[in-house]
Chain A
Amino acid sequence: MQFTTQRLKKSVAMAAAVGCVLGFGLTGCSTGGPSGPTIQAQAPSTVSGDIEFWHFFTDREAEVLQNAVDSFEKKYPDVHVTVKSGQDDEKMRQAIAAGQPIDVGLSYSTDQVGPLCSSGAFVDLQPFIDRDKVDMTQIAEVAQSYTAYEGKRCSLPALADTYALYYNTDMFAAAGITTPPKTLDELTDDAVKLTTFNADGSIKTLGFMPLLGYYENSEPHWAVMAQAGWLNKDGTSAVGSDAAWQKLYAWQKNLIDKLGGYKLVSDFQAGLGQEFSEQNDFQTGRVAMNIDGEFRTAFIADQAPDVKYATAPLPLAADKSKAYGAGYITGNVLGIGKGSTNPEAAWALVKYLGLDTDAQVLMGNGLKNVPTVKSALTSPDLEVSDEYKVFLEVYQNPNSQTAPASIIGSQYQTILGQFSQKWQSGDASDVASGLAEVDQQINDAVALGSMG
């Protein structure tokens, strides 16, 4: 059969029509959930009904959440909570986007607060907060910052992960070091003293791993040590213009060189144990100092109870020493899905898990995360060891930092991470121009994410 021009035109027109119907006519289906629940003008005297609660915890940790929900149901006997555990963040976001009636969602990623808030997927909690006259000062400012986006409060913090310095006290004593490092210079000196070598010249034990990408050595965690900034108020990159980043990278390069160079250190890194196993390098004594979260105290108690260690705030650059006591803070966030069919009961659960002292203590003790409400931090029921206490102090330190919410999620961190890999391996030598390029790449991505 000959394919004439007329037939071709007809076929193209038909294909275009089908494409239009499929592509545009059904566009709304993917994001066609409800526009958002409405709230009552006055706080109801009682709440009742069924709600659905999605969270990502599994196994033992899911049981801790279930205990908290059980105590909520005792307090609100007319509310029944259906708990969906083990729900990954991405799955939850897709379910909310599809209009599934998720009343309360618990997300592990503060990086997603930007899209969740700006899109309305998590509803604005400010009307609830204003109506019920919730005292937000009971939550540390940094935790308030990572649960809102561009002034819109769409979530509350529900336990924090706080990062500080772990150090092996036996190794410190053997090296004649009596106190943890408070400045980056001291960290360098201690790292060198604590590093030992094998007969073949390879590293046997390392004082401190100077490479980013290793365990919890990430740009956001290190930024605190130089009090370096990430984003400007308009969402564009501040990395290239903040001199703190350049100082931080210069310090890193110096430390790598003093420990024997990139090849030696990366060879040592190649033999690392899995971070969340018994073979974790700090737990096995391969590394004397590590940056890690408060949850490591529980891992050490469980997997390596014989390790003698202590914790301290992160060491800081010499010109930022007044901020000593700071660390990195992130955490879980709670919000009400835009498809919630029972927003008052959902708000009751969010308020309970996010602001109730007993619930916070219950979850803090069970998960070994830091409670986000100040009353829970000082509760006599909170189980606090000397090592864990440091994290409570870091959480309350006004100089502690988090990674800000962005329209492009965590991509701005990933872009800086690309530069870090080049820098530390020696593939990049000009930090200023490298960071200027990072600025450009972040700004391009932010512009793309903000279009339309």
Chain B
Amino acid sequence: MRPTTRRRGLVALAFLGPALLGMAVFFVYPLAMTVYYSFTTFNILSSPKWNDFANWKYLVGQDPLIVTAAVNTLWLIVILVPIKILGALLVAWALTRARHASGVLRTIFYLPALIPPVASTIAFVFVLNPSTGPVNQMLSLIGLRPGWFTDPAWSKPSLVGLSLWVLGDIMVIFLAALLDVPTEQLEAAELDGAGGIARFWHIIVPAIRPVLLFALVTGIINAMQMFTEPAVASGTAMGKATVGAGSSTTLGWPSNSTLTYGQLLYQRAFGSNLMGYASAMAVVMFVVTGLVMIFLLRRFSGFTAEVAR
């Protein structure tokens, strides 16, 4: 290697050094340790002891809640994420069409996203309280009394409702993307006789594809790791809007209908002291998330330079 090339390489390494160090300490090391712990019996307080594949066998065939938690999480990915994206896109599109008070409307739709998740969830559950909440008091006039967060059949759809209420974060990104769609293309298509749906599919969607993919990727990751909202909703609906002591006992209520994979992982790690087993669960989550992301990015190629141009 020539001295100049070598010097350039060292300079590049020096610039990359802090980032590489951060990656090693905060990503590679925890990841390696998690994989190692997944083959051990470990409760934080004692040194881990190698147990071969016991954690993996328990995960595959013995954990009575793993399937429930995985199915619930899959439900959130398949139902909640698309609905939230469509809802945010719809609201953003409507806001681009608003002729009056668009600033006020944007603020109104964005504001719920500024509320801390714990506070917004508690407020939402109170509003939907089957007995005292204003929503059910109105619905009761037409003979409806949904159980919302207290009925296993309604609890996950209620989480969808909550996610729609706080869709401002992704809505504002869609809004920016929609305002950036070239108007000349839309006008040209209109002159050529393209209808609203055709303009949407053939001009708007391709133009905002990177943003759509971003929303999909982050939405799926958030859904796979979802913890706070269902945990707070369960506790509040159970009458135990507390944290700390015993908070893990309320996870999943009612009837495990809101138990997510992340919650089960937490419960196994800190409620049952099965840190080794929880590590195996974390490895599975990491691998599945990685595979889903690879599939999405390869399938839709929304982040490629070609599209970005």
Q: Once the chains bind, are A56 and B36 in contact (CB under 8 Å)?
A: no
A31 near B271: Cβ-Cβ < 8 Å: no
Residues in B whose Cβ lies below 8 Å from that of A88:
244
Decide if A108 touches B245 in the complex (CB within 8 Å): yes
The reply on B260 being an interface residue by CB < 8 A is no
Residues A451 and B54 in contact in the complex (CB < 8 Å), given A214-B239, A421-B255: yes
How many pairs, one residue from A and one from B, have CB atoms within 8 Å of each other in the complex?
Answer: 155
Q: Which residues of A have CB within 8 Å of B129? A: 270-271
- A281's closest neighbor in chain B, by CB? B239
Cβ of B41 and Cβ of A449 under 8 Å apart? yes
Known: A22-B33, A270-B130, A276-B242. A441 touches B41 (CB 8 A): no
- Is B272 in contact with A409, judged by CB distance below 8 angstroms? yes
Q: State which residues 408-439 of A face B: CB under 8 Å.
A: 408-411, 413-415, 417-418, 421-422, 425, 427
- The residue from B62, B238, B270 contacting A444, defined by CB atoms under 8 A apart: B62
Residues on the B chain within 8 Å of A452, using CB: 40-41, 48-51
| Cα of A26 to Cα of B58 in the assembled complex, Å | 26
Mask: chain A, 84-116; 1 = CB below 8 Å from B; 0 = not: 000011100110110000000000110110111
* A 376-419 contacts with B by CB, 8 A: 407-411, 413-415, 417-418
Contact A115 B239 (CB under 8 A): no
In whole Å, how far is B3's beta carbon from the nearest beta carbon of chain A?
24
Q: Which residue on B lies nearest to A427, using beta carbons?
A: B255
Which A residues touch B240, using CB under 8 A?
215, 274-276
Interface status of B241 (Cβ within 8 A of chain A): yes
B267 touches A (CB below 8 Å): yes
Contact mask A7-25 → B, CB, 8 Å, 1/0?
A: 0000000000011001110
Residues from chain B with Cβ under 8 Å of A31 in the complex: 44-48
Cβ distance A402 to chain B, nearest Cβ, rounded Å? 15
> Is B261 located at the chain interface by the 8 A CB criterion?
no
**Given A213-B238, A214-B239, A444-B62, A267:B130 Cβ within 8 A:** yes
Contact-residue size bin, chain B (C-beta under 8 Å from the other chain) = 35 or more
Cα distance A214–B126 in the bound complex, in angstroms = 17
A64: chain B residues within 8 A (beta carbon): none
Interface pair B41/A271, CB less than 8 Å apart = no
Note all chain B residues with C-beta closer than 8 A to A276: 240, 242
Q: Tell me if B289 is interfacial: C-beta within 8 Å of chain A.
A: no
The answer to whether B29 has its CB under 8 Å from any CB of chain A is yes
Within 8 A of A (CB), among B84-124: none
Q: Is the CB of B45 within 8 A of A273?
A: no
Give the size of the chain A interface in residues (CB under 8 angstroms): 66
A23:B36 contact, CB within 8 angstroms: yes
Q: Does B65 contact A (CB under 8 A)?
A: yes
B174 sits at the interface (CB 8 A): no
Which chain A residue lies CB-closest to B251?
Answer: A414
A121 CB–B CB distance under 8 Å: yes
Check if A266 is an interface residue, CB within 8 A of chain B.
yes
Report whether A448 and B58 are in contact in the complex, using a CB–CB cutoff of 8 Å.
yes
Q: Mark B12-54, 1 if CB is under 8 A from A, else 0.
A: 0000000000000000110011011000110111111111001
**Cβ-defined contact, B36 with A24, below 8 A:** yes
> CA–CA, A273 to B32, complex, Å?
46
* CB-nearest residue of chain A to B55: A448
Is B196 part of the contact surface with A, judged by Cβ < 8 Å? no
Please name all residues of chain A whose beta carbon is closer than 8 Å to the beta carbon of B51 when the two chains form the complex: 448, 451-452
**Does B151 count as interface, using CB distance less than 8 angstroms?**
yes
The answer on a CB contact under 8 Å between A23 and B45 is no
**Interfacial chain A residues near B46, Cβ < 8 Å:** 31, 115, 118-120
Query: Which listed residue (B28, B47, B150, B268) contacts A270, Cβ 8 A?
Result: B150
Q: How far is the CA of A56 from the CA of B55 in the complex (A)?
A: 32
Q: Are A445 and B150 in contact (CB under 8 A)?
A: no
Is B267's CB under 8 angstroms from A27's CB?
Answer: no
Report yes or no: A270 in contact with B151, Cβ–Cβ below 8 A: yes
Report if A67 contacts B (CB, 8 A): no
A365, CB-defined interface residue at 8 Å: no
- CA distance in complex: A258, B280 (Å): 46
Provide the bound-state CA to CA distance between A415 and B252, in Å. Answer: 13
What are the residues of chain A within 8 A of B33 when measuring CB–CB?
22-23, 26-27, 30
Find out whether the CB atom of A22 lies under 8 angstroms from the CB atom of B28. Answer: yes
Residues of A within 8 A of B (CB): 18-19, 22-24, 26-28, 30-31, 56, 88-90, 93-94, 96-97, 108-109, 111-112, 114-116, 118-121, 213-215, 218, 266-267, 269-276, 281, 407-411, 413-415, 417-418, 421-422, 425, 427, 441, 444-445, 448-452
- For this complex, 22 residue pairs linking A to B, each with C-beta atoms less than 8 Å apart, are A22-B29, A27-B33, A27-B48, A93-B44, A93-B45, A97-B44, A97-B45, A108-B244, A213-B238, A267-B147, A270-B151, A271-B129, A274-B236, A408-B272, A408-B273, A418-B64, A421-B256, A445-B274, A449-B272, A452-B41, A452-B48, A452-B50
A26-B33, A408-B274 known, 10 other contacts, Cβ within 8 Å: A31-B45, A88-B244, A115-B43, A115-B45, A115-B46, A269-B150, A270-B237, A414-B249, A441-B62, A449-B274
